[in-house]
Every structure is written in structure tokens, then in C-alpha cells.
A and B are shown apart, each in its own frame.
Chain A
Amino acid sequence: MDLKEILVLISILIFGFSGMRCATSKEESKTFPKNYVHPLTEINLEKVFSENRGLKILEENATKVHDYYRGGVQDKEEGERLLKESRWEEARKHFEKSNRFLRVVLKYLPEDEAYRTVYEGQTVIFLPNLLIADNTLKLVSVYRNLKNLDMATQAIAEGQRYLAESQKSVKTEWAVQIKKGFEEELARK
């Protein structure tokens, strides 16, 4: 079977050419002062969503760490949509699934990074700890609406742990907002 025949039956799409690596200049990675707080205009949920849309990642098809990150973000986006519609049970499933995806990521890449270089010149906002914290804050409200107060209490403690882990590596206004959210939830107890 020749190449032409193969290409009639399947298309082969290759991103990137190994032979070209030396021909292009590498962009410098972004660096920030030690205590720099990334403002919400720079790092926010909508930006994270937009970087991870596209091919839907299914749990059974995820193989690489980035698949799990992408899947975690995609399920989070769905959870957020359902939360706005007060569809608590469905939102719960997506937030919990998102957390499952993101915990796999943390096994291999435990630290948040404001900008992770994925290949030459291409960076993504990489905040698995913060995303779990944000999911868990949303889950507190979901559990309350589902009248599962024990789970809500557990979620506050768990979410705060992930938030603290995120803040060890990256400081963001987004994290400050989440922290405030947990404090408000604690005050409601």
C-alpha cells in the first residue's frame, strides 16, 4: 500500500517538526518578582477555560498529564454552567470529576505555575491546586443545597489545603477571592 492510498483512507496531522527546533529562536519564559500577585485581569477562570477548550477529553481516553489537566478544566467549565442553573446534582458530578482529573495531574506535577511552557513559545496557565480549591468552594455551596452539611464542612477544610498549596508557588488575586469565599463559608457554619 502506498502513501497516497493511506492518505485517502486516513489523514495524518502532525503538529511540530523535530528537525525545525534549531531553526527557531526560543522565547524567554515569563518571570515575575518573588511576591508578585497576578491580577484577575491577567489570570482568571475565563482565560483558563479558553486555553483548554477544543477536543473533549474523556476519562477513558486521557493518557498524558496534560490530558488530565485539560479534562479537569473542561469538567469544571461544565460544572460552573450547571451551578448557574442551580442544577446541583449534575454540577456536583462535574466538579467532583474535575477534581479527580486534577488530582492525577498533581501526582506528577504538584506545583502550580502561573505560566507553564508546554513547548517552545507556548505557555498555559497551570494552576491545578487553585482549580481544585475553586471547585471545592463551589462544591461547598452545592453540598449545602443538597442538604449534605457534613460534606460541606469537609469540603471547606479540603479546599483550604489546596488553596494553601497553590499560594506556596503562585500568588493571584483569584486565590485571595477564593480565600475570602472559604472564610464566608466558615462564618456560615
Chain B
Amino acid sequence: MATKEKEKDLKKYKDEYKVSSPILIDENASAANAYGVWNRPETFFINREGKIIARALREIDWTSNNMKDLIQYLLKEKK
């Protein structure tokens, strides 16, 4: 979710870093405000019921063992 970035910068970023997931533009920061985001990046994990089940308040190394363990834990919790 991008708040302040311009569309052309986002396209460049997506190409450069080969980002496959969708990037949404949050005009006027309305989504960021609704989620209470005061830091960037900030990550929310949302389950199938639409409930926030975890939140990370800083940059994440998605390949780290900690992150793998967290995702495994969250998936087990919700099965």
C-alpha cells in the first residue's frame, strides 16, 4: 500500500525489484489512517475473517527463520 508515492515511481519500483504482488495507492492516506499507521513500513497480517492477527512495526526480512516461524504459527492458529 503506497501513500505518498507517485504512480510512475511505483511502476519503476515494481519493475526494478520484480514485485509480483499488487501495489495499491492509498490517496489521502485514508487507509493508513484507518489502520493507525505512523511508521513505514508497517505490516498487517489479516485472516480470512478479515481480522488483524499480527502486526509488524518495522522492516521485515521475509526470508528469516523468525518470519517463517511466525507465518507457520499464524497459519496453524487459523486452521
- Seen from chain A, the residues whose Cβ lies within 8 Å of a Cβ on chain B are 1, 6, 9-20, 23-24, 51-55, 57, 63-64, 66-67, 70, 118-122, 124
Contacts and interface: CB of A to CB of B under 8 A. Distances in A.
Contacts of B2: 16-17, 20
Nearest to A69: B38
A52 B6 CA distance: 25
B41 A12 contact: no
Contacts, number: 120
Contacts of B34: 53-55
A121 B28 CA distance: 11
Interface residues of B, number: 43
B40 A16 contact: yes
A53 B36 CA distance: 8
A129 to B, nearest CB: 19
Given A13-B35, A16-B37, A17-B5, 11 more contacts: A10-B47, A10-B48, A10-B71, A14-B1, A14-B44, A15-B3, A16-B42, A17-B23, A57-B36, A118-B37, A118-B38
A104 B57 CA distance: 19
Interface in B1-60: 1-6, 9-10, 12-13, 16-17, 23, 26, 29, 31-48, 52-53, 57, 59
